[in-house]
Structure 1
Amino acid sequence: MKKVLAQNISKRNSEKESKPFKVKWIYGCFGISKQAYYKRLKSYNNKVLNEKIMIKMIKEYRHQVGQRTGGRKLHNELIEPLKLLNIQIGRDKFFSFLSTHNLLVPKLRNYHITTNANHRFHKYKNLVKDKVPTRPEQLWVSDITYIKTDNGHNYLALVTDAYSKQIMGFKLANHMKASLCVDALKMAIQNKKYPNKKLIHHSDRGFQYCSNEYVRFAKANGITMSMTEQYDPYENAIAERINRTLKYEYGLKRTIKTTQIAQKMISEAVFIYNNLRKHNSLNLRKPAEVHLNPNIKYKSYKRNKNQLTELLF
């Protein structure tokens, strides 16, 4: 009742009504002291201000790092800056705050299938099924996703390190030829930090990855090929997940005006993803950091984690 009273009085005074209540009459009527009234009024005003500050910080962080940054990462990143402003909030209360202000991240729809495995090329065995990597540049995963522009579909090929989650190479083009994926792999090889380590390349069975052009280039660079056995997102879960993250967190899901603008947006998104975005699967560390300082235990997206063993390669 006292809280509601303070809110109502604050509202009436802010609206400058012609006949406002006399504060002395109010706190006398309800049996509270003058000091208690002003303390409650100050507390209410501080709460409103703190909420505005938190909403602004959350929106600014998501704008800089990713629109779909979840509550756990937000709390981890903002807890110290909030403390500097004398705003103390635990994780459960923080999630409640996100829910109250419609700031929780909505769930996404199912995966969109773009793989064409009906071709004449050799399909390689799955060498990494139920295996988890133990170091960077032991296992790379690759995939293609589409990017919509005003002048039609473009296609983005990605190569990602399965251990550190760092995007090693990417290429955007208006075609789905094997050269698209070869160019992404070339960039990944140029970005290698451990050139003498054995490396497996895992992908779906799309014709680009099975093509003679792609396989020859990979093998010429000492890379061993591995492929999914059937279409199941969990067989190439890391690549699928990164596709979705880039598209939904960095504005690549919407139709972009030109290919040139899309290219710039992708380059910026990859930089943020690798160097600024913290990952739950990396114990809230950044991919570029983990790639150079590999001392974490790998976390899998697979549902049944009890069947997993370390990848020995």
Structure 2
Amino acid sequence: MHIFPNELDNRNVVALPNTVFVADSTSLPVKHRKKPLTGFKALLIIDLATGEIVGHRVFCTKGPRASIPSRRVVQLFQRALATKQLPEQFIIHTDRGPEFASQAFADFVRQIGAIGSMSNPQRPTDNAVAERTIRTIKHQLLEHTPTLPTAVSALGPLQIALEKRITFWNTQFMSRRAGGTTPSEAHRRLEMQSHKAPDIQLTHANGDRHHTDLQTFKTKAIAEHPYLIISETRLLAQNLANSQAQRFAAIEEKLDRLLAQNKKLSKSVPKLPLRDPASGSIYEWIMNLPREPRCKRLPYMRFRLAITLLRFTGMRANEVGNLQRQQIDSAVRLGHIDVRVTKTKQVHRYVINPSMKKRLRNLEVERDIVFAQHDRIKGTLNPKNWIAFLNIRLKPVGQHFGINLKSHSFRTGFITQLLRICPVQHVASMVGHRDVRSTQVYNRFVPDRTETHRLLEAIHSGPEESVDPNASESTMPSEEPDGPLADAGKTRPKRAPGTERRIRQKGGSRAPARRSNKRSTGGKVR
């Protein structure tokens, strides 16, 4: 095996023809009628200056992925370059395929006095022109007439189809690399005007490097790669700069037009409704639903187990779907479960409370049925189908309660409840959010009917009490409701001793003013 260095270095701009030749091979989706294991490959040789295909051939290989014999490759290059007027220095650039890395091909390159060049390993972009040309030719062979036959007994039909397609490419296909003309016409024009370089776009292969100063590019190119011949005409540099300015102005105008269209579309497209948080009453209603006769046992048990984990852990649906039996068993035993977060790719620990342990123990039958056939809760479903599996079964529940209920609604409800009693920083660390702004999005408190009644009863329970303006701070009642909305760790301050007894004796609702510590003696204060 002989490997040449990457002399071309992705400089896919050549001013004159017959200066750089690139080559590549591709497999053809054709079967051999008599030999099923036989494969077919096409080899193309392309002039980098104009994109003209100067050599082509279909070869029969021993397998679909077998390489072309190196002696056949050398013969094709000899026939293709025999009629060309080659300069003193020219390059033959290929990839690192076995047919090009052979010793026979390396000896041929040295014999004709060419500079061998090969792409870097695992870098198809280093041979971008050959790859793109072969892709276009292959697409035309499969989609346009004449098309490739699906099965052949000899190379004749394949060679004829390839010959017609290459003739169309060289003589009728309008190529951007050829300046809007056919490759053959561009080749003839450049050979007649060999002293004048074509109006080309000096653009890097990846499209992110533009050389507007022709003299700078010419000096650098000739210093590093003497085979790049670029005219020093001042008129060419001016035309090149003007063409690039017009091109960038057209691109900018097109982007502005697209942005204006997107702005109009964003106003016309309605936004999807937010997912409502799922409360505990919704979970209990789901768990009390009987299994319908048409519903199979495994999906029913899988849904009950997944909804329980979503409700009491606050995990994402995909994280619940990837849980295994040993993880759930260890959660019941240890009180926590370690899950790899799908977004951050890091392990996060979800704490399991005692009520969750009790519910998981009660779902022993569901666990046995779900993990009897598969090692994960979601089974063989992919992430997209797993989310659809949960949302389809939650849709009638959401319609019953009149809310937009999705699989993520349980995580929304879990975080919403935590935000009512904990700081947002603590909640973000508990649910695995990197940024507290992601946690603040979940701050949507929408109580259901049962919880609303309980809150109203907690607020309006007991007789109304009025406070004397002269009362001390120790006898002032708390202004915060004594119910679910009360902050954790805050208790109602106690009244002074004897206050309740004095209120009942007088039958009023106003507390007496506290006795003054001042004693009057003749109008003076001692």
- Secondary structure in structure 1 of the residue aligned to 2:210: helix
- Structure 2 partner of 1:126: 6
Instruction: Report if the CA contact (8 A) 2:19-2:86 is conserved.
Output: no
- List per-residue Cα deviations over 1:19-66 (Å, max 9, x = no partner): xxxxxxxxxxxxxxxxxxxxxxxxxxxxxxxxxxxxxxxxxxxxxxxx
Instruction: Report if the CA contact (8 A) 1:144-1:156 is conserved.
Output: yes
Structure 1 letter corresponding to 2:120: E
- CA distance in 1 between counterparts of 2:148 and 2:48 reads 23
- Secondary structure in structure 2 of the residue aligned to 1:127: coil
Residues paired across the two proteins, number: 192
- CA distance in 1 between counterparts of 2:208 and 2:83 reads 33
- In the TM superposition, residue 274 of structure 1 has moved relative to its aligned partner by 0.9
- Structure 2 partner of 1:304: 208
- In the TM superposition, residue 269 of structure 1 has moved relative to its aligned partner by 1.0
Structure 2 letter corresponding to 1:275: T
Taking structure 1 as the reference length, the TM-score comes to 0.56
- In the TM superposition, residue 302 of structure 1 has moved relative to its aligned partner by 2.4
2:185 is equivalent to residue 289 of structure 1: yes
- Structure 2 partner of 1:40: none
Matches of residues 92-107 of structure 1 in structure 2 within 5 Å? none
- CA distance in 2 between counterparts of 1:187 and 1:148 reads 26
Taking structure 2 as the reference length, the TM-score comes to 0.34
- Structure 1 partner of 2:53: 167
Matches of residues 128-147 of structure 1 in structure 2 within 5 Å? 128-131=8-11, 132-147=13-28
- The counterpart of 1:185, out of the listed 48, 64, 77, is 77
- Secondary structure in structure 2 of the residue aligned to 1:209: coil
- CA distance in 1 between counterparts of 2:74 and 2:199 reads 30
Instruction: Report if the CA contact (8 A) 2:94-2:119 is conserved.
Output: yes
Matches of residues 19-168 of structure 1 in structure 2 within 5 Å? 121-131=1-11, 132-151=13-32, 152-168=38-54
Instruction: Report if the CA contact (8 A) 2:172-2:182 is conserved.
Output: yes
Structure 1 letter corresponding to 2:118: M
- In the TM superposition, residue 254 of structure 1 has moved relative to its aligned partner by 6.5
- The counterpart of 2:100, out of the listed 200, 209, 218, is 209
Q: Aligned residues: percent identity?
A: 20
Instruction: Report if the CA contact (8 A) 1:171-1:180 is conserved.
Output: no
- CA distance in 1 between counterparts of 2:128 and 2:157 reads 28
Instruction: Report if the CA contact (8 A) 1:159-1:169 is conserved.
Output: yes
Q: CA 1:136/1:230 → structure 2, altered by over 3 Å: closer, same or farther?
A: same
- In the TM superposition, residue 268 of structure 1 has moved relative to its aligned partner by 0.9
2:115 is equivalent to residue 224 of structure 1: yes
RMSD after superposition: 2.2
- CA distance in 2 between counterparts of 1:297 and 1:212 reads 36
- CA distance in 1 between counterparts of 2:27 and 2:92 reads 21
- In the TM superposition, residue 281 of structure 1 has moved relative to its aligned partner by 2.5
Structure 2 letter corresponding to 1:129: D
- List per-residue Cα deviations over 1:52-96 (Å, max 9, x = no partner): xxxxxxxxxxxxxxxxxxxxxxxxxxxxxxxxxxxxxxxxxxxxx
- CA distance in 2 between counterparts of 1:253 and 1:241 reads 19
- Structure 2 partner of 1:236: 127
- CA distance in 1 between counterparts of 2:189 and 2:124 reads 29
- CA distance in 2 between counterparts of 1:154 and 1:195 reads 31
- CA distance in 1 between counterparts of 2:41 and 2:21 reads 19
Q: CA 1:299/1:179 → structure 2, altered by over 3 Å: closer, same or farther?
A: farther
Runs of 4+ in 1 over 6 A off after TM superposition: none
Instruction: Report if the CA contact (8 A) 1:199-1:224 is conserved.
Output: yes
Structure 2 letter corresponding to 1:296: D
- CA distance in 2 between counterparts of 1:223 and 1:165 reads 19
Q: CA 1:249/1:196 → structure 2, altered by over 3 Å: closer, same or farther?
A: same
Instruction: Report if the CA contact (8 A) 2:21-2:45 is conserved.
Output: yes
Q: CA 1:137/1:122 → structure 2, altered by over 3 Å: closer, same or farther?
A: same
Structure 2 letter corresponding to 1:153: G
Instruction: Report if the CA contact (8 A) 2:148-2:161 is conserved.
Output: no
- The counterpart of 1:272, out of the listed 168, 177, 182, is 168
Q: CA 1:248/1:272 → structure 2, altered by over 3 Å: closer, same or farther?
A: same
- CA distance in 2 between counterparts of 1:198 and 1:253 reads 38
- In the TM superposition, residue 306 of structure 1 has moved relative to its aligned partner by 3.4
- The counterpart of 1:255, out of the listed 120, 125, 150, is 150
- CA distance in 1 between counterparts of 2:88 and 2:50 reads 15
Instruction: Report if the CA contact (8 A) 2:18-2:90 is conserved.
Output: yes
- Secondary structure in structure 1 of the residue aligned to 2:41: strand
- CA distance in 2 between counterparts of 1:181 and 1:169 reads 10
Q: CA 1:229/1:253 → structure 2, altered by over 3 Å: closer, same or farther?
A: farther
- In the TM superposition, residue 253 of structure 1 has moved relative to its aligned partner by 6.6
**What stretches of structure 2 of length at least 5 have no aligned partner?**
33-37, 62-67, 191-197, 212-216, 228-526
Q: CA 1:149/1:244 → structure 2, altered by over 3 Å: closer, same or farther?
A: same
Which deviates more, 263-272 or 288-297?
288-297
Structure 1 letter corresponding to 2:43: A
- In the TM superposition, residue 162 of structure 1 has moved relative to its aligned partner by 0.7
- CA distance in 2 between counterparts of 1:231 and 1:298 reads 27
- CA distance in 2 between counterparts of 1:205 and 1:130 reads 15
Q: CA 1:178/1:269 → structure 2, altered by over 3 Å: closer, same or farther?
A: same
- List per-residue Cα deviations over 1:105-135 (Å, max 9, x = no partner): xxxxxxxxxxxxxxxx121110111423221
Structure 2 letter corresponding to 1:173: F
- Secondary structure in structure 2 of the residue aligned to 1:306: coil
- CA distance in 2 between counterparts of 1:163 and 1:298 reads 12
- CA distance in 1 between counterparts of 2:50 and 2:202 reads 10
Structure 1 letter corresponding to 2:49: Y
- CA distance in 2 between counterparts of 1:170 and 1:187 reads 10
Instruction: Report if the CA contact (8 A) 1:134-1:298 is conserved.
Output: no
- In the TM superposition, residue 256 of structure 1 has moved relative to its aligned partner by 4.7
Structure 2 letter corresponding to 1:124: F
